[in-house]
Structure 1
Amino acid sequence: MIILLPMLTNFFIYLAESTTCLLLFALIYSLFLSKTTYFQWNRWYLLSSVFLALIIPLTPSPFWLYDNQKEIINAFHWNLSPAVWQTKGQLSLPSQLFEKTQDSDQLIFLLGAIYTSGFIYKLWSFIKNLRVVIGLIQQSEKTQQESYFSVYTQTTMPTFSFMRHIFLEDVMTQLKQEELLQVIHHEQVHVRQRHTLDLLLLEIVGIIFWFNPVINYLKKSVKLVHEYLVDAEVVRHQDLKQYSHLLLKLALQQTNFPIANGISNNQILNRITMLTQPKSGQIQKLRFLMAIPALALTIVSCSFLGDENKTLPTVDAKVETKDITPDKKLPVRKITWVGNKLYTSSELDQALGIKKGDKYDEKDIYALIEAFGLVSVSNLYMDKGYLFYTSNLKSEIVNNEMEVEITIFEGEKVLINDLIIKGNNKVSKEEIIKQIGIQKGELFNRTKLINAQRTLSKIGYFNPDKIGINPLPKQTPKGWIVDLEFVVEEK
């Protein structure tokens, strides 16, 4: 359950970000593009919107937002992506530090259950519709077959096309020969332009985003654009007036399959209006440039919605290298400590172990701050329970010497709530806890965790390279606590 919770949280964040993208792209289409006669452009815009909405939340933040994200995190003194601690095995903090109580955890699992129920229902409906179409292919009478399409007569559904199959309602045979040819021609265009693939894509996305009404709007828009494309193609070879009369004649038909293209729908008036209105001028193509700011806005929005899977600044990424020549070590002129309350600057200087005149670069200094040694700045804090301790280093070159300012974010003390053992089958949990020497209720201590990992690797029961310790912090009304998860692999 503990592992599932962050997965659910991350997934819901992804859904929220994708929904934001879809909403913005759909709004641009509705306001600026839906009335233009560049139907093929509109088709690709709508399909691209779906692809981008799926991909953008998964991409790292662009470099031009990276520094801004660092400043925001530092300004709030909130380390959203804690340092990754590693020894021979794996000792790491989880990537999420959302404020969570037991009630909020239960809410996330409840939302997960509701989402899963909707997902299963939509998936079942999709499969059921596919089976109906497959059944029609197997049971219907084939009346015509060409190299790229087949025509069937059936009594179950109104006229529609699916992939390379055209299904005519049996009443269509009562139409005049010229009208029947127009109907078949209409569906042939759907087949040639592979409109079914568009609808299948949107149905699959609709299963994932079953709760999102924007998906329904995009489905209707894509279907309508399909009809515009087909109508424009048909009237190139048919009389416009006769074809309009045919559309009105068949207007009462409804194609109930969301995965199929039908010759008519309840937007018949829009189609006839679009057939008769003048084509959009070339200048109208500039409207599609609205997609550029929309794309930029979605990237910015997703960058600040808090998806931990992105490359947010970590402790290692906070070192500023401005004005420092790579690999050039300069004498240290002065070190200034900011934000330290628990320890004095003298105590921190002693833990750092750098004297005036010693030659270092920023990378070296930061390595000393975060060192795993018995005496280091990070250990001073993390061995006292300050799980969320982090630091930020800035430097300036003055007369070819380096002045360093180190800002400390101490956070608050964190107590150990529970010890979780995973992967043990032969060795009992009690025996493992006895070996590691860590008790519930004591303060978090990084050195003890490292020693516990070393102990487990030496006692001979477990694979030394497969021992992981994962601190799992969570917030309660009384403050932060942390569960320690020990993952082992027995020999």
Structure 2
Amino acid sequence: MINYIIQVVLCQVFFLVFYDLFLSKETFFKKNRGYLLSTPILSFILPFIKIQTFQKVLPEKFFVYLPEIVIAPNKIIEKTTFYQSINYVNIIFWIGVSVFTILFLSKLIKIFILIKKYQIEKKEGFTLVHLSKQTTAFSFFNYIFLGKEIPESQKSQIIEHELVHSKQRHSLDLLFFEFLKIVMWFNPMIFIYQKRITLVHEYISDEIATKLTPKENYINNLLSNFFQVENIAFVNQFYKQTLIKKRIIMMTKNKSKKMNQLKYLVLIPVLASLLFYISCTKTSKNEEIEPLVEVEEIIEVVEQSPRIENTNDIDNGEIIEVEESVSFMTIEKTPNFPGCNSGDKDCFNRKVQKHFIQKFDSSLMKTLGLSPGRKRVSIMFKIDKTGIVDEIKVRAPHPKIKEEVIRVMSLLPQMIPGEQDGEKVAVKYSIPFTLFVEDTKKKE
């Protein structure tokens, strides 16, 4: 999921940079509106598109994490506690969703309060809300909010401007981005998108309104006073000071040449680049696959009677969570242990674990003089295209442990190789391996 979110954000960065460089200064306002509405949706779809031609550019090599192997005395094993099952990332995500939902609802309620509180006047095609002692002007769907302190000479122009927002359903665009802000509150690109489309809305309304009013008079009305605005992100505001300068520049600018519409074609190589990146990252060499499945599978080794138990390991009273990570993309046929059914990852895991139990010399730890406690060992190996276990790499707290682990891994039988698109592929594995060294003095 994290990899997917990163790809979505990167796509949106590409689209926004493209917009700012090539399209933002053009007067193709309706096309730009369509671009700003469609590209966020496209960014959610692109990561799911898989182009085989691009994928074959890189070697088919996958990286899979196996469940942790723990070798410990029987007395160290304890039952799991509640806090282990808590997913803090999910908690933070839902807190963010809740906060932004509350903010959105509070702004929505504020609008309904304004409608109930102030005098309303039904007009043909819209409802006018008169705001007492205010110079605010904004719209929300068919409601146009107009401060009574605004000079009468300016009101008709403002209404014409806001009617464009109403008729073209600009409020729907802004609500769309409010929804995206709720579900992706951590993504700054959504906030930038909303700012860009808000400005495009004003360009569209200004373009139509200035056809009915002399452009100079219209601009003078924008500059005549410093007006207050409502702090609501999803309403279309006439007097928004941060946008006025840009609106005036765009109104006084000559219309873009039709030939400039060819700039939209530049998007084609941009999309091709994004698809190339997304397709290749799914099969890139030494890719680290994010965890999707959490399991509690511990191998316990007891002197002279090794056995397997489902439990958790602890370090000085602290529970250590054990996870299994599998590829988010589907490998058609994963490598497997001889005798296991094709694609049966559980069988593969059990066989590897059983192999360690039977072959690893747990008595070795008593002779090395290691300090009591948990000792981490990292194991990496590759099952090549022929099924041979190769490239065994071990990081251990003692050379003798490293030698023993390499010896045990070297005794693994030839595996059934993995397959992708009908071809044999190499798959790299990583196994976290934990050893517990007892305090023999306390035991005595």
In the superposition, the TM-score normalised over structure 1's length comes to 0.56
Q: 1:150 and 2:127 equivalent?
A: yes
Cα distance in 2 for residues equivalent to 1:474 and 1:390: 11
Kindly provide the amino acid, as one letter, of the partner of residue 218 in structure 1.
Answer: Y
Task: State how 1:94-133 maps to structure 2 within 5 Å.
Answer: 109-133=87-111
After TM superposition, list the pairs within 5 Å mapping 1:393-472 onto structure 2: 406-409=386-389
Moved more, 379-388 or 278-287: 379-388
Residue number in structure 1 paired with 2:141? 163
- Aligned residue pairs total 321
Residue 277 (1) aligns with residue 233 (2)? no
Superposed displacement of residue 268, structure 1:
0.8
Q: CA RMSD in A?
A: 4.1
Q: Deviations over 1:26-69 (max 9, x none)?
A: 11111111111111111111111111122223x1422223334x
Contact preservation (8 Å) 1:203, 1:259: yes
SS of 1:287 mapped into structure 2:
helix
Give the aligned partner of residue 156 of structure 2.
181
Aligned to 2:41: 51
Over residues 327-380 of structure 1, what are the superposed CA-to-partner deviations in whole Å (9 max), with x where a residue is unaligned?
Answer: xxxxxxxxxxxxxxx9xxxxxxxx89xxxxxxxxxxxxxxx99499xxx99998
Aligned 8 A contact 2:333 2:342 in 1? no
Alpha-carbon distance in 1 for matches of 2:104, 2:142:
19
Q: Which residue of the partner structure matches residue 287 of structure 1?
A: 263
Contact 1:154 1:167 in 2 (8 A): yes
Shift of 1:73: 4.0
**Residues 1:35 and 2:6 aligned together:** no
Cα 1:153–1:411 change in 2 (3 A) is farther
Per-residue deviation at 1:124?
0.9
Cα offset, 1:110, TM superposition = 4.2
8 Å contact from structure 1 (residues 66, 312) kept in 2: no
Deviations 1:358-411 (A, max 9, x none): xxxxxxxxxx99499xxx99998787369988564xxxxxxxxxxxxx354568
SS in 1 for 2:333: helix
CA distance in 1, matches of 2:189, 2:351: 52
Is the Cα contact below 8 Å between 2:135 and 2:148 reproduced in 1?
no
Q: Which amino acid aligns with 2:127?
A: S
Letter paired with 1:47: L
Q: Which amino acid letter does the alignment assign opposite residue 144 of structure 2?
A: I
SS in 1 for 2:248: helix
Aligned residue among 53, 59, 65 for 1:72: 59
CA contact under 8 A between 1:235 and 1:243: conserved in structure 2?
A: yes
TM normalised by structure 2 equals: 0.62
In structure 2, the CA distance between the partners of 1:45 and 1:409, relative to structure 1 (3 Å rule), is farther
Is residue 50–residue 279 contact of structure 2 (8 Å, CA) maintained in 1?
A: yes
Equivalent in 175, 179, 189 of residue 214 of structure 1: 189
Question: SS state of the match for residue 122, structure 2?
Answer: strand
Deviation at 1:313, TM superposition (A): 5.3
- Change in Cα spacing, 1:411 to 1:21, as seen in structure 2 (3 Å) is same
| One-letter code aligned to 2:274 | T
Q: Corresponding residue for 2:176?
A: 201
- Larger displacement relative to structure 2 (156-165 or 234-243): 156-165
Matches of 1:66 and 1:237, distance apart in 2: 56
Shift of 1:23: 1.0
Q: CA deviation at 1:208?
A: 2.2
Partner of 1:228: 203
Counterpart for residue 333 of structure 2 = 316
Provide the residue aligned with 1:7 in structure 2: none
**Is there any run of 5+ residues in structure 2 with no aligned partner, and where?**
69-82, 283-288, 293-326, 357-378, 394-408, 410-428, 436-444
Please report how far the alpha carbon of residue 126 of structure 1 lies from its aligned counterpart in structure 2 after TM superposition. Answer: 0.6
1:121 Cα deviation after fit: 1.4
Distance 1:311 1:66 in 2: 16
Q: Distance in 1 between matches of 2:226 and 2:203?
A: 15
Secondary structure of residue in 2 paired with 1:171? coil
Instruction: Give the partner amino acid of 2:9.
Output: T
8 Å Cα contact 1:389-1:410 kept in structure 2:
yes
